[in-house]
Structure 1
Amino acid sequence: MTSKPPPLFPRLARDALSQRIAQALTEAIVSGRLKPGDRVSESAIAREMGTSRAPVREAGRLLESAGLLVSKANRGFFVRTITADDLDSIYELRLCIEREAAARLVRVGGVAGVVPDLHLQLDEMTGRSADGQVIHQIAADLQFHRLIVKNSGNSRFLAVFDTLASEIQASTALIDRVFDDPHKIARNHLLIIDALETGDEGEARAAMDYHIGVAREAVVNHFRVLEAGHPAPPPRKVP
């Protein structure tokens, strides 16, 4: 007899099921266990998690609103396929939010309070860059940026950022490596901290413009090459 494969999703208690199922699905998508175009089977997930199909369906609707799933009539939910144009739009919106979040952080006097946490996150990023797992590096990188957005004090900025972060993780989990030196990427975040510590809103905006702009160009162009059916380009040198 062959043994059954381990379930993809854990069984859950019945409190806040839809939100917890949505989180489990998000983690499966951003880690690459659920791929773009994969069907999200309500019955299979409900069976593995030990629940009914209703909260799974509600979780699907939540992730459809977040841009991670799409629904098809009479067929259910599928993991959204993100195009290069989609990703470019995501980065454009991210840039608008993070530029102003950095400036607002300076304006409200929150820099000194968050800088120690930013340095701790840089240490995490540097450590993650050695494990060779792109998804871990992306998560650590996004957490650095989330600290800035969160401490800016604008809750709407944070809500949008969290949605964008899930989409960025889901899409970039599909590619091997864009830049040639993950350690240098981590160190380049020091330029953002330096700009914040000047106390100049313009410097903070400019640093974020440059940092996200470089990532936007590299990641979007990488996707365009793959969409055209060409082999993945070699990793870029970190500027």
Structure 2
Amino acid sequence: MATTDSGLGGLAEDRALLGRTSTAERVADILRSRIAEGFFPPGERLAEDAIGKALGVSRNTLREAFRLLTHERLLVHELNRGVFVRVLAVEDVADIYRTRRLVECAVVQGLGEPPYRLEGLDAAVSGGERAAEQGDWQGVSTANIHFHRALVGLAGSARTDELMRGVLAELRLAFHVVDDPRRLHQPYLVRNREILEALRAGERTRAMWLLAGYLDDSRAQLVEAYGKLVADALA
């Protein structure tokens, strides 16, 4: 599967973000976002010449960006074929959720005394609810990712933020394959708000247990749905 025109069009718009200090890290940031948003879906080959031209960067810079994203498990290099957006295995999905549970629950349990800075969580919950009212289930998915990034951001740790940025971007590789995003995301709109309201009330431990249950249920649902898709593809 070759790089799509929609993906290249988006990259051309992002070219201005590079400015005069274009670096492989900045290119990687742009491509990471585009992969997370589904412009480059799992299994798609990234055309080096077309992407380099769209962003206005050298081949060496682009290859270094590819290397960074391969290290983050978002891309995979296949000998004599090129670079592709990674297709997750079912075991990858389960492992991502194990990592999320360890990190996210630890962040909530480790919060200090309330009140907490909940602006980011509040904006994400409201954004998800608005997207659901409009039937925009990909928008709900994006708002959900923002919610969990804001949740981890409560720790005030740049290292934890960076870790979860990669983990959540990798998770969206699975989201983009599931063919019923409404069924996947709708149940968690209410649960996000429940976690937010528990934190607003200063009930840190309750919020942690709500989050743990949320992640366990989400893992079971996604592993089942993704496993069926993988099995059908191999049949």
TM-score band by shorter chain is 0.7 to 0.9
Structure 1 unmatched runs, 5+: 231-239
Distance change in 2, residues 1:163/1:48 (3 Å)? same
Q: Distance in 1 between matches of 2:34 and 2:61?
A: 17
Q: Distance in 2 between matches of 1:206 and 1:229?
A: 35
Q: 1:103 maps to which residue? A: 109
Larger radius of gyration: 1
Question: Structure 1 residue 119 and structure 2 residue 119: aligned?
Answer: no
Q: 1:17 maps to which residue? A: 23
Question: Structure 1 residue 164 and structure 2 residue 167: aligned?
Answer: yes
Aligned-pair CA distance for 1:188: 1.8
Dislocated runs of 4+, deviation >4 Å: 181-184, 197-201
Aligned-pair CA distance for 1:201: 4.7
Q: Percent identity?
A: 26
Structure 2 unmatched runs, 5+: none
Q: 1:65 maps to which residue? A: 71
Are the aligned partners of 2:178 and 2:229 in contact in 1 as well (CA < 8 Å)? no
Two-structure CA RMSD over aligned residues (Å): 2.4
Q: Distance in 2 between matches of 1:226 and 1:61?
A: 29
Q: Distance in 1 between matches of 2:130 and 2:171?
A: 21
Aligned-pair CA distance for 1:77: 1.7
Q: 1:51 maps to which residue? A: 57
Aligned-pair CA distance for 1:182: 5.4
Aligned-pair CA distance for 1:131: 3.3
- Deviation sequence 1:2-31 (CA, Å, 0-9, x none): xxx674321454413322322232233223
- Which of these residues, 193, 206, 209, is aligned with residue 190 of structure 1? 193
Q: Distance in 2 between matches of 1:38 and 1:215?
A: 26
Q: 2:33 maps to which residue? A: 27
Distance change in 2, residues 1:162/1:52 (3 Å)? same
Q: 2:95 maps to which residue? A: 89
TM-score of the aligned structures, taking structure 2 as reference length:
0.83
* Larger helix fraction of residues: 2
Are the aligned partners of 1:31 and 1:170 in contact in 2 as well (CA < 8 Å)? no
Aligned-pair CA distance for 1:167: 0.8
| Higher mean C-alpha displacement, 147-156 vs 86-95 | 147-156
One-letter amino acid of the structure 1 residue matched with residue 77 of structure 2: S
One-letter amino acid of the structure 2 residue matched with residue 60 of structure 1: F
Are the aligned partners of 2:145 and 2:168 in contact in 1 as well (CA < 8 Å)? yes
Question: Structure 1 residue 224 and structure 2 residue 224: aligned?
Answer: no
TM-score of the aligned structures, taking structure 1 as reference length:
0.82
Question: Structure 1 residue 40 and structure 2 residue 46: aligned?
Answer: yes
Aligned-pair CA distance for 1:35: 2.4
Are the aligned partners of 1:102 and 1:205 in contact in 2 as well (CA < 8 Å)? yes
Q: Distance in 2 between matches of 1:28 and 1:136?
A: 14
One-letter amino acid of the structure 1 residue matched with residue 55 of structure 2: M
Q: Distance in 2 between matches of 1:32 and 1:180?
A: 18
Aligned-pair CA distance for 1:199: 4.2
Distance change in 2, residues 1:103/1:72 (3 Å)? same
Distance change in 2, residues 1:184/1:222 (3 Å)? closer
Distance change in 2, residues 1:112/1:48 (3 Å)? same
